[in-house]
Structure 1
Amino acid sequence: MTRRTIQRLAAIGGIVGMVVAASGTAAYAAPDGLTVVAVRHSLLGTHTWYQQTYRGVPVLGGYYATHTDTRTGATSIQDGRFAIKGTPAGSAAFARNRAESAVTGRLAGSLLRSAAVIVPGDTAKLGWLVLTDTRRGTVQTVVDASSGTMLTEKNTIKEVTGSGQVFNPNPVVTLQNESLTDSGNANSAVLASAYRTVSLTQLNSGVTTLKGAYASNASSSAVTSSSRTYTYNRSQAGFEQVMGYFHITTAQEYIQSLGFTDVNNSAQSYRTTGYTDDNSYYDPSTDRITFGTGGVDDAEDAEIIWHEYGHAIQDAQVPGFGSSSQSGAIGEGFGDYWAYTMSSAVSTNTGTVPLACIGDWDAVSYTSTTPHCLRRVDGTKVYPGDFENEVHADGEMWSRALYDISTALGRTNANTVILEAQFNFTAGTTFAAAANSTVSAAQSLYGSTAAASVKAAFQARGFI
């Protein structure tokens, strides 16, 4: 079974070391001043991502990528390297351990790792990149190695606001009942017919926990079973752990069925305990999904699980994906669409509970109108008039375009096109560039008619 080959950017000094596309840079020949961080194999080609370095030190935001068409041998290049202006210090006056201590102390967190980086700008600087594990995910801080001044700081998580025998996808959809409530995480007779007994595939041999080829339970007090029988109800912590394992695994099995063997093809870490907010997030710094337990426990709703897995998919395809407002919106929109397309295989579209409504069960805790939805994928927003510079709101435009592509091409062809196209995105891609890449993928895979349908979907949203 092919495994994805990746050295995550964080390991060489920048979880978002490849997140800013530089403009006006000249084309350089690899591999001088470059370090390979990821190699991906899609249906149409091989995609190699490099980290820019300066005197062996990673340049924050500098990247270079090559995309080789396996049919023709033609290679295209995405060059996001920065010109290094001035002469960055060769040694640090402000020691690395001082930077680590100052940052982790201020954030009341624990050190994940740190590394030297070159910070480009009008005058390039030597900096310390410090990754801190905090209650709300990983925080990336860059400290000036000469003065100790904080240069930048950001939370690196990708999240969805809001909330597994299993629910498939959730009791609101299965029972077609919008009046269900969380009731303090209690099990109830009304939910009995919403439970499904499923096969948990791909489990690792030799262990009794929920760890397998495509999903790895990292929850505290992780459930175990020597007989491999994990039967719980929603009032028990083990229920959400089973939900996470089953729905992440089935999502990866579906991706493999489309022909992709290198799209997040590894054991995705997740946890369903320890985070009490009504929120969930994917943290690329640790490659882990965390599901909150506020309101309806988020991992009780497979559509929330699939949304977060959507972030992991894109991060695996394009290291550091989602660095700009538009690529961030694409990430949220794809996550919502991935929840929709996975749910469509096990759900019925009705007027009471429409398929386009995402997170129906999770949303009963924070919405008063019906149908209860975290968001929808059939909205009417158009760019740029409806652009709010808020990734979840703006993602509704991208998810609608993908929804229309699925309607036009059918689920299998649409998802093949969408996943193939994402290999050619940059971390900070624009709506237009990502849309055109998707049109190109449709043309290469299925011809002009399919490409025209994809183009029309993006034109309807104002992207091209």
Structure 2
Amino acid sequence: MTKRRKAVVAVTAGLATISLGLSFTSAAGAAPEAAAANPGGLKLIKTKTSLLGKHYWYQQTFKGLPVINGYYAKHVTKAGGVQVADGRDAVPANLDVSAAVQPATATQTANAVVSAKAQRARIGAPNKTIAPAPAATSGAAQLAVIGGPNARLVWNVTSRSAEGVSRSLVDAKTGSMVESKVISDNIDGRGSVFDPNPVVSERNEKLTDMNDANQDALFVAQKNVVLRNLDGSGRLNGTFVNIAKGNGGLAKSDNNTFIYQRANNKFEQVMAYYQTNQAQEYIQQLGFTDANNESQDFSIDTIRDDNSFYDPSTDMITMGDGGVDDAEDAEVIWHEYGHAIQDDIVPGFGETLEAGSIGEGFGDYWAVTMSVPVSRGFELPCVMDWDATSYTSTEPHCLRRTDGNKTTDDIVGEVHDDGEIWSRALWDIHQSLGRTKANKVILEATFFYDPDTSFAAAAQDTVQAARLLYGKAAAQQVTNAFTARKIL
């Protein structure tokens, strides 16, 4: 698009001297002089104050719709001088603004183009070891106008992908792509975390919280990491994670460096971002591009309980700060993220006792399987080793384990207790098939669950997934795991 722009500078206080001779038709059909005095057809969107004066920014509109890249600014100095920056595009007065293409169609077109571009960028990037580019997601499409010699009505679709935030313009009459470009790049940042927690990384069951104090023993447990997929806003927001709320305010960094000691509440924000991003990248590596493939919201240290939870009504994970701050233990983060994964795959999942128990069992299992690459085998089946130091006296410190001996004979009607039956079955599948195959089978089966599924029905779905993915021998090993728990 070619713009006609001009600056108008006052030569006397309070009056603007207007340059003449510019051929221009405004959105309202008026000459730009009229807009300079009283910007008709423009929408004031922002007023800023600087040391030298005030600055008024307007969005150009046409028949109530925004004109892409059409702007108009008036800068008024304290002495009364006026400077105008006119970035409007001419729009024919007879342009039809009724759309022939539905917004859902435009969104689908835009996301397909953005996804393909992101995938090509990943393939062509050197030394990349991160996950394949996920499919793009977007918010609602909005009607807008492109001005200039090729004026047209378009759907403006904002999409989020592995490249960042993209803006796509889809012709609202023909459905063809007009333009798609990245408007906010994803970047890498730096942070410091426990991985997965101090008890495991230091192989030390004697560590204690000491009321959230900094300690030498915990300082050496911190690990410097790369924070991938940040959106460049200077906050811990990205493709897969959004730290939406935090006790004491949200972490912010102009150079995307988020390094804190554990006594600082922002340390837990970094933990939640890094460990959740790790989990979703792993899911993408397994081949799943639609299992909570979104920016998961977190609220960190915002309740004074030794408890954390996922709220499906708001799609928010809330981490408590009672005892050991929950977000200091990656296994707590991964457990809660497990609930978000299942709720995303199966809307309303967990409506019955057994379905809820499957959810708790999967959360424990997910925490353990995510620990495999970083635990070096230390007490793997022990869930939440660091968090549990606040409320257990025996060693090893565990909230629960995934290698217990419960069967359906031991059902007591409480989802966490009964979830140990399910987590043991999943852990046995993990041991039999190996981490990669087991997790592909378990996640694939989840797509076939009902919200009120039973142990037996979910087990049958898992056996079928194993059969279709890896054949009869794998299906038999999965069957054996569920049979041992008296589920099948």
Shorter-chain TM-score bucket reads 0.5 to 0.7
The answer as to 2:238 corresponding to 1:212 is yes
Task: Give, in angstroms, the shift of residue 2 of structure 1.
Answer: 1.2
Q: Aligned partner of 1:303: which letter?
A: E
Query: Is this contact kept in 1: 2:335–2:366, CA < 8 A?
Result: yes
Is contact 2:219-2:261 (8 Å) kept?
Answer: no
Deviations 1:344-401 (A, max 9, x none): 1111224xxx110000000000001000001000000011x10011000000000000
Would the aligned equivalents of 1:377 and 1:400 in 2 still touch at CA under 8 Å?
yes
Q: Helix, strand or coil for the counterpart of 1:223?
A: coil
| Structure index of larger Rg | 2
Given candidates 322, 332, 338, the residue that maps to 1:294 is 322
Report the counterpart of residue 439 of structure 1 in structure 2.
Answer: 463
2:393 maps to 1:365: no
- Rounded to whole Å, the distance in 2 between the matches of 1:323 and 1:345 is 33
Secondary structure of the residue that 2:374 maps to in structure 1? Answer: coil
The answer for unaligned runs of 5 or more in structure 2 is: 1-133, 141-190
Q: How does 1:405-416 map to 2 (within 5 A)?
A: 405-416=429-440
Does the CA contact (< 8 Å) of 1:4 and 1:264 recur in 2? no
* 1:316 Cα offset (Å): 0.5
Assess if the C-alpha contact under 8 Å between 2:308 and 2:326 holds in 1.
Answer: yes
Q: Secondary structure at the match of 1:264?
A: coil
Aligned pair 1:315/2:343, yes or no?
A: yes
Match of 1:380 among 393, 405, 419: 405
Structure 1 unaligned residues grouped into runs of 5+: 8-163
Deviation at 1:333, TM superposition (A): 0.2
Amino acid at match of 2:371: S
Match of 1:166 among 179, 193, 196: 193
2:419 to 389, 392, 395: 395
The one-letter code sitting in structure 1 at the alignment partner of 2:196 is: P
| Whole-Å separation in 1 of the counterparts to 2:139 and 2:339 | 16
Determine the C-alpha separation between the residues in 1 that align with 2:310 and 2:138: 20
**What does 1:7-18 correspond to in 2, within 5 Å?**
none
Shift, 1:3, TM fit: 4.2
RCO comparison, higher one (Cα < 8 Å, 6+): 1
- What is the total number of aligned residue pairs between the two structures? 303
- Paired residue secondary structure (1:418): helix
DSSP-derived class of the 1:200 partner: strand
Shift of 1:5: 8.5
Identity of aligned residues (%): 55
Native 8 Å contact 2:301 2:325 kept in 1: no
What secondary structure sits across from 1:201 in the alignment?
Answer: strand
Q: Secondary structure at the match of 1:345?
A: helix
Report the equivalent of 1:129. Answer: none
Deviates more, 1:341-350 or 1:404-413: 341-350
Matched, 1:425 2:449: yes
Counterpart position of 1:124:
none
Q: Which amino acid aligns with 1:309?
A: Y
Q: Does 1:194 align with 2:248?
A: no
Closer, same or farther: CA 450–336 of 1 in aligned 2, 3 Å: same
Is 1:185 the counterpart of 2:212? The answer is yes
Cα deviation per residue 1:239-272 (whole Å; 9 max; x = unaligned)?
0000000000000000000001000000000011
Equivalence for 1:255: 283
Q: Kindly indicate whether residue 364 of structure 2 is the aligned counterpart of residue 336 of structure 1.
A: yes
Deviation for aligned residue 1:193: 1.9
Q: Secondary structure at the match of 2:302?
A: coil
Secondary structure of the 1:187 match is coil
Q: Describe the SS at the equivalent of 2:269.
A: helix
TM-score, normalised to structure 2's length?
0.61
Contact 1:4 1:262 in 2 (8 A): no
Contact 1:303 1:339 in 2 (8 A): yes
What letter matches 1:292 in structure 2?
G
Partner of 2:49: none
